[in-house]
Structure 1
């Protein structure tokens, strides 16, 4: 076990939890710039070759790679804080394309007959699309676990113990996150036991932050809001971290707020953070409604042979109907009949009382048992691969559900929630998949599932839906919490 001397020279008793030996910081960041440059050059070269083959003109193909890299650099796309996944890459790429288009327009003014503007405007969509795809491929590699912790930025969290624990859980929940928490410095270190995860070292108090940075070799410090972290102390900490070549990141008070809803507004020289309201009106959701129904109808058409086979297997495995129908609450509290393939024996409801002691959620309205004896053999297989949910595509086509949204709850489970939480969940349609389904499903405690559902409602966007849909196959294959 390694002990660490604090900034005051004594040994903090909190370090008895054990801190792994790590090399001292040598400078630089763990997110390499060269792979980004290589991918962006490759994207520009692909567009350049296309232009050369189609139009047999060489000027744009020769200049585009350098112009593209320069425009991305102007948009700060290679600064360390912009290299993390999910840091508004699309906006920077589109702005870079606009810069190149403006430059090509100016050059075309002097040589109008060269085809320069035509070739540039033809190449830019290819370049921008290829750049975004190659950068997204990097995030997919991270989610798939191909990097195994390599090149992740290391961070130390500073702030209250409960807020630090919440931040750590959020970062660990996102498999695409490139921040690895290597320790915490707490404003209330006495509360760390039982709050901060045991595998996260506690370096001591706020005054020990600089020493913790030196010991852990971290790249960033994340400061959480709290009365103990006043402006003067944060300013002093930023100066000390700057001398170490370490970033200081300030976390907002609201943890479950999408970056797109936040904007910095200067007032009297003070940078105030403006929180935009969630998108809850129907007009922006019309494309989502159309896409949901079209994709669900296409899915039913393609999967119809599989649905027939599953229905036959359910009927042959045990007595009873192939489909299970249950009352659920939909948009604005309207009840509808949810469809699933039956995965339990017909007397499952009668046996519920005798198994109440095994309910992993205690005596609440939600009832879930690991290795539930009421589940049939075919039912266990269907649950493991989430095939029992496929009939809900009919609910999506009928407009009762969406492909992505909070999970539909029975009325009794919904009534068990606080009224404000329940009403907020019902502002959008329930979904076939959702944030908590791709984050651990039944492995998550009820409070975490409710929090993720509310986070989806508050931060909905088309990009969030696509992100959840992209993570859904991986969650199904992993099978975490599928029982």
Structure 2
């Protein structure tokens, strides 16, 4: 019966987390009701709002096991419940209690209740992720599929920073390639036929199956039965990777559940809020940082001969060239010396040129690069509409000339001052990984993704990982 213990621990943890969420939602509703009472002097909303708010959260499945700790989807369901609450209050007003004051108070309480509920959920999610990071075994996960696909998924799970799923072992459809998995520090535990014994022996809580020709419908069905008998989750990885959950939807057709992949949302109308946010926020930051930036420019000029700003041609959306601004961090003859340092390139596997401890970097420049302060003048490019706050790395013209047709998809959006490449390691990333992140951003863009990247940028800059 030992193999039952991890799922039992998981269920206890999930029950505890749901209780915390219920308490948090009750607190959010009570706090919002108190604010409304303070403004309008009525107590009726304090009796009605908390249970109504929790009913709305239940109706929109914000306590489902599948969204606990996931972030965006969890927040989206809270917002849907908040939007539905005024409609629910209006229905109650029309059918039961014709109290215009109570209807007004319920509508006014929605915004503070949503803000408090989201803030508390964010705090609980951060605590949950820290717990996952500290846990030695997290949620033991068995990966099933071909060695190449499993290796890619292991890299994704390790890169996420919040290891809810931790690879405890692998059952391969091609066991002859087990050495490729062992090099990653994950045990290869046999083939698909060994799955039942492995789940039982390791106390697996989740089975993830990747696409493979050997895994036809009958094999997948048997694996799902095994998972059900063992009381563990059964997950199917899609054939297409780097597709956000928001773009995927199940469409049943004649009893067959087909997965629809929505096209990338790149129309000008959908990106108008991003344009407004980019330019207004960049302009506000320029005004706020004007004096510090002038002082930085003066220090750059005093530290080494040459201009304070470095100007370089970069390629923007649709291949348009523009002049990008940065604080100068290198000697004025740095471009002439590049050929002499080609053998030191840390990104020899791709088109980027990066050298650790580059001798061309000035004393002040080293600090500016490590802290990313050198990129602040790019706010000018954002105000001009040439760049965005969030987007792919702005490439050089000679890099773009070497792009394949697939990589050119990076040019469908404006380059960014920050992006997935920056919050995921910056210069330490291999070229293929940087391209994968940029293409994933282009295909899965949303305002929520932009805000998430902006929130993660601060910690990435403080860590300074890959900044050289």
TM-score by length of 2: 0.91
C-alpha change, 1:138 and 1:199, in structure 2 (3 Å) is farther
1:268 corresponds to: 254
Residue number among 323, 328, 333 corresponding to 2:309 in the alignment: 323
| Deviation for aligned residue 1:98 | 5.3
Answer 1 or 2: higher relative contact order, Cα 8 Å, separation at least 6.
Answer: 1
Counterpart Cα distance in 1 of 2:76 and 2:347: 43
> Where do residues 389-468 of structure 1 align in structure 2 (5 Å cutoff)?
389-422=375-408, 424-468=409-453
Counterpart Cα distance in 2 of 1:378 and 1:163: 44
1:149 corresponds to: 134
Residue number among 36, 40, 44 corresponding to 2:29 in the alignment: 44
C-alpha change, 1:129 and 1:365, in structure 2 (3 Å) is closer
Residue number among 7, 25, 41 corresponding to 2:6 in the alignment: 25
2:198 corresponds to: 212
2:240 corresponds to: 254
Encode CA deviations 1:362-411: one digit per residue, 9 max, x unaligned. Answer: 27542111111111111110110001111111111111111111111111
Counterpart Cα distance in 2 of 1:326 and 1:195: 43
C-alpha change, 1:370 and 1:23, in structure 2 (3 Å) is farther
**2:307 and 2:328 in contact (8 A); partners too:** yes
Counterpart Cα distance in 1 of 2:100 and 2:280: 45
SS for the counterpart of 2:25 is helix
**1:25 and 1:216 in contact (8 A); partners too:** no
Encode CA deviations 1:81-130: one digit per residue, 9 max, x unaligned. Answer: 12131362234223433554455334433321373322222223322222
**2:133 and 2:163 in contact (8 A); partners too:** no
C-alpha change, 1:363 and 1:77, in structure 2 (3 Å) is closer
> Where do residues 17-416 of structure 1 align in structure 2 (5 Å cutoff)?
25-29=6-10, 30-31=13-14, 32-86=17-71, 88-97=73-82, 100-108=85-93, 109-113=95-99, 115-141=101-127, 145=130, 148-150=133-135, 152-176=138-162, 178-195=164-181, 198-362=184-348, 365-416=351-402
C-alpha change, 1:141 and 1:341, in structure 2 (3 Å) is farther
**1:139 and 1:176 in contact (8 A); partners too:** no
| Deviation for aligned residue 1:286 | 1.6
Encode CA deviations 1:18-65: one digit per residue, 9 max, x unaligned. Answer: xxx999535252543222222222212212322343444444312432
Counterpart Cα distance in 2 of 1:265 and 1:429: 33
**2:147 and 2:180 in contact (8 A); partners too:** no
**2:420 and 2:438 in contact (8 A); partners too:** yes
C-alpha change, 1:146 and 1:246, in structure 2 (3 Å) is closer
**1:25 and 1:214 in contact (8 A); partners too:** no
C-alpha change, 1:418 and 1:142, in structure 2 (3 Å) is farther
Question: Aligned pair count?
Answer: 461
1:482 corresponds to: 467
C-alpha change, 1:460 and 1:99, in structure 2 (3 Å) is closer
More helix, by proportion: 2
Counterpart Cα distance in 2 of 1:385 and 1:123: 42
SS for the counterpart of 1:419 is coil
Counterpart Cα distance in 2 of 1:142 and 1:373: 43
SS for the counterpart of 2:75 is helix
TM-score by length of 1: 0.89
Counterpart Cα distance in 1 of 2:58 and 2:183: 39
Counterpart Cα distance in 2 of 1:335 and 1:142: 44
SS for the counterpart of 1:306 is helix
| Deviation for aligned residue 1:437 | 0.7
Encode CA deviations 1:127-153: one digit per residue, 9 max, x unaligned. Answer: 22221222123344567x576334953
C-alpha change, 1:290 and 1:67, in structure 2 (3 Å) is closer
Q: Which stretches in structure 2 are left out of the alignment for 5+ residues?
A: none
